[in-house]
Structure 1
Amino acid sequence: MDDLAQLISWRAKLLDLRMGGVREVTDPGGDRVRFGSDAELARAIASVEGAIRNASRVTPHTITFRTSKGL
């Protein structure tokens, strides 16, 4: 799983692409990614945002029970 800082960086890059109207990107390794439409780019952003939400989720370490007899 990617760390939170990297996911946030990816989201920022995708948002910059979308706001700039760019549909094709080449990374330093020479790999080229082309987004066919704005909707496809929006889905990529939504996917990264979902991963950020999952990575940000904190699980409780202690569970406290409160019980009563209902009186």
Structure 2
Amino acid sequence: MSFTQKHLDAVESAIARGEKTVRYADRTVEYRTVDELLKARDQIRSSLVAATGPRSRVIRLYHAGKGL
């Protein structure tokens, strides 16, 4: 299943409220434990990161000379 940021927001909102039920659009999922909910959040995050591709690298150049 492909996840979206809205799925992640719904799961994180349920975690913040201390609930084990997540509602998104016309679907409702009830998790047995909070640990299950946390695992679902981690899986959604991993899926979103994998879908966005590799992160770009930032290269910072420093000049430690006397300057001008």
TM-score (norm 2): 0.64
Identity of aligned residues (%): 15
Higher relative contact order (CA 8 A, sep 6+): 1
2:9 is aligned to 12
- Point out where structure 2 has 5 or more consecutive residues left out of the alignment: 55-68
Distance 1:12 1:27 in 2: 10
2:60 is aligned to none
1:22 deviates by 1.2
User: Number of matched residues?
Assistant: 54
**Cα RMSD (Å):** 2.1
- Point out where structure 1 has 5 or more consecutive residues left out of the alignment: 59-71
Distance 2:34 2:16 in 1: 10
1:35 is aligned to 31
2:7 maps to 1:24:
no
TM-score (norm 1): 0.61
